[in-house]
Homo-oligomer: A and B are copies of this chain.
Amino acid sequence: MKIHAWAAKSPKQPLTPFTYEKPLGENDVLIKIKYCTLSKADTFFIDNFWGDMKFPLVPSSDMFGEVMEKGNNVTTINIGDYVGVGYQVYACLKCEYCKQGNEQFCKKQRLIGIHEYGGLAEHIIVNEHFAYKIPPKLQKPEYVSLVCYGLTAYSAITHANLTKNMKIGVIGVGNLGHWAVQILASQGFSVSAFTHTDTKLEQLKQLGVTTFINTLDAKALNANEGMYDFLLVTTYHSYDWSHFIKLLKPEGTLCFVGLPGVNISFPALLLADYARRKITGSYIGSRKDMHDLLNFAQTHDIKAITQVFPVSEVNNVISLRRKNAIPFNAVIQIS
């Protein structure tokens, strides 16, 4: 079938209409896209920031839409279902990792931007197991970025084995970070936000941030050495990570879900001496994480601070994102 999309034909180019062919497989569903996001990371994808993108590139790894057709073997999704699709659109469901419930580690997985065209399109075809039914309460633009950004924050937080009274910080508080803040606050943690911008502070307080620390203020960072159990890095900025590792208590964890474009670098002794500190990373989440998050979002009424744009505005949105003029979430209405 012919799919009409918007693509960057080569790195850093504006998006223009682009058509590609994809058959509807026996295990696939065809989704008519209603909303997709355009995130800061999409600008990095378009600019080939991490170097592993394929062009033409159709961006957007969160989308909501309606199922229009389904393959003969599809059993879990029906025509007419309102579904969301995130960054991962396929896993084998048979390997060791899939069987553990960690489909995001599957070696045969397919991802948007790397193996597949994304959500900035009239339609998408994906495996039924990566189309998630969206409850009616969440069928709004404010929830579109839940399926990739929300999931990434939720999975990292869930697998950090946090316990009551732990001291938690989020480094960088944009799209990904403001999901993290809300998830942590809903779990009862008081959350410190580490940021170098002060234009978002009021909004972030309302989401649950109790303390702000300026990432460029060496004195403020020093004053917090050895205080934190868990720091979640949601920014793409590069810092001297030693300053943040020093903020951790013994056995504390620094977890990267934002991926700085240059190597992270620090002395190994900051992990070892007096400490047994950990550095880890996480990306997206499992299908179980997604189902849990859909329930969690309904229960706790968390959502992205969202600006909605018509599809005719995509290149303007990308330009705004490059200038950091959209603080949190941008959603494109396609139909």
Contacts and interface: CB of A to CB of B under 8 A. Distances in A.
Given A97-B250, A102-B250, A278 B279 contact: yes
B274 A257 contact: no
Contacts of A279: 271, 278-280
Contact of A265 (B105, B251, B256, B264): B264
A278 B233 CA distance: 15
A166 B9 CA distance: 45
B264 A266 contact: yes
Contact of A273 (B97, B266, B280, B283): B283
A32 interface: no
A205 to B, nearest CB: 28
A264 B268 contact: yes
Interface in A244-297: 250-251, 256-260, 263-283
A256 B275 CA distance: 12
A270 B272 CA distance: 20
Given A105-B250, A266-B263, A266-B264, A282 B278 contact: no
A251 B282 CA distance: 10
Interface in A36-61: 50
A280 B271 contact: yes
A27 interface: no
B276 A280 contact: yes
A278 B50 CA distance: 21
Contacts of A94: none
A109 interface: yes
Interface residues of A, number: 37
B281 A268 contact: yes
B281 A276 contact: yes
A270 B282 CA distance: 10
A318 B330 CA distance: 63
A250 B275 CA distance: 24
Given A250-B97, A263-B267, A283 B278 contact: no
Interface in A90-135: 97, 102, 104-105, 107, 109
Given A250-B105, A263-B265, A264-B267, A282 B274 contact: no
A205 B243 CA distance: 42
Contacts of A268: 233, 256, 258-260, 263-264, 281
A259 B267 CA distance: 8
Interface pairs A-B: 9 shortest CB-CB? A271-B281, A272-B281, A105-B250, A265-B265, A256-B268, A272-B283, A263-B265, A278-B280, A279-B279
25 contacts: A50-B269, A102-B250, A105-B251, A105-B276, A107-B274, A109-B274, A233-B268, A256-B271, A257-B272, A258-B268, A259-B272, A263-B267, A263-B268, A264-B267, A264-B268, A272-B281, A272-B282, A273-B283, A274-B283, A275-B283, A276-B280, A276-B281, A277-B281, A278-B279, A279-B279
Given A259-B272, A276-B280, 12 more contacts: A102-B250, A105-B274, A107-B274, A109-B274, A159-B276, A257-B272, A272-B282, A273-B283, A275-B281, A275-B283, A277-B280, A278-B278
